[in-house]
Amino acid sequence: MISLENISSISIFGFVANWSPYFFLFTVLLTVFYFLITKKWYRNFEGGRPLRVKEGTVFVTSMVLLYGMYGAPVDILSHILFSFHMLQMAVVFLLIAPLMFYAVPEYVWKAFVNLPVVKQIFMITRKPLVTLILFNGVFSIYHLPVVLDFLKQSGALHSAFNALLFLLAILMFYPVFNKVEPRENHMGGLFKMLYVFGIGALLTPACGLIIFAGTPLYETYTDGDAWLSAMELCVPSGVLDGLRGQGLISGPEYFTDTTPVMDQQTGGIIMKVLQEVFFGFMLGFIFFKWFKEERMDEEETTRRSVENARIQKELFNQYR
């Protein structure tokens, strides 16, 4: 059982660890840069246009979510409880990543994707199966106990791997949501729906192994020394050394009454349930958009047929 009273005791780590002012500054600067591009400099882009209210709203919402996952107490809790780690994974890679295609205008995406090095990277999106396997493969490798425990001992490696996963998530969702490629190069609505089903299917084994594991898998959530070392990723060393010296903390059990196995299983369930919820909305969106496009195509075909019939009738009457 996760006690709110126990969780609230993370305040002993101090303001910087709980609210990460540096990451807050990063998200603010990113938001300012976004609005400079889309409100002030958009005329410098080919096909540039004024920002739509919906796009700005989605971007700001995404930045709030991003800060909530990596800057607010959820981040420090993700190093204490595996369930919060999986909440972080689901929201950042399965929600924020696809939202970027609706937050960032298509002319910015086009300029970005056509940058020399970036263009080469995005070439793999022409083979959607490759991007699907890449993200899910790297995600599964990341959650191997030996890999996750190793990465959580180094702030630079941990951040780099998370950045890689976010890039792979963008590449994975690009074939479904991008507005850069001509419509004729897009997957059809049915294939997009099957593709999203495929993402969920490939995530299932990793979640299943975590949910049904009968023993704790990760030392950084169970072993005191490994956990304290991992906490250095988000807690200033001076604060952590002080708490350790006073004997106030020795492991994650100080903050929770739940067992490591139960916490682990909860994490796997959170990931799978949120994936189903997010993908349910995606599938609904894709279906209705596909239905609308099919109706528009039918109406256009009918209009052209009527127009051709009218022209032929006029020609017939002219030369009769």
**What string of DSSP letters covers 76-95?**
HHHTT-HHHHHHHHHHIIII
Tens digits of per-residue pLDDT, 111-153? 999 999 999 999 999 899 999 999 999 999 999 999 999 999 9
- Paired tokens of 258: 């739940």
How many structural domains compose the chain?
1
Which helix (DSSP H) or strand (DSSP E) does residue 32 occupy?
helix 21-35
Look at residue 307 in the predicted model and tell me its pLDDT. Answer: 61
Give the predicted TM-score (pTM) of the model.
0.90
Look at residue 172 in the predicted model and tell me its pLDDT. Answer: 97
Look at residue 295 in the predicted model and tell me its pLDDT. Answer: 73
Look at residue 85 in the predicted model and tell me its pLDDT. Answer: 97
Spatial contact of 267 and 83, defined as CB atoms under 8 Å apart: yes
Report helix, strand or coil for 118. helix
Q: What's the mean pLDDT when you consider all of the chain? A: 89
The whole domain housing 62 covers: 4-319
**Strands in 147-260 per DSSP E:** none
Look at residue 301 in the predicted model and tell me its pLDDT. Answer: 55
Tens digits of per-residue pLDDT, 190-200? 999 999 999 99
Q: What residue ranges of the chain have pLDDT lower than 50?
A: none
- Sign of CA pseudo-dihedral 316, 317, 318, 320: positive
* Torsion angle, alpha carbons of 249, 250, 256, 261, to 10: 170
Which helix (DSSP H) or strand (DSSP E) does residue 301 occupy?
helix 260-319
Determine the Cα–Cα distance for residues 148 and 88; give it in Å rounded to an integer: 14
Q: Which residues of 278-314 are buried (b: 16+ CB within 10 A; e: fewer)?
A: bbeebeebbeeebeeeeeeeeeeeeeeeeeeeeeeee
- Sign of CA pseudo-dihedral 12, 8, 1, 264: negative
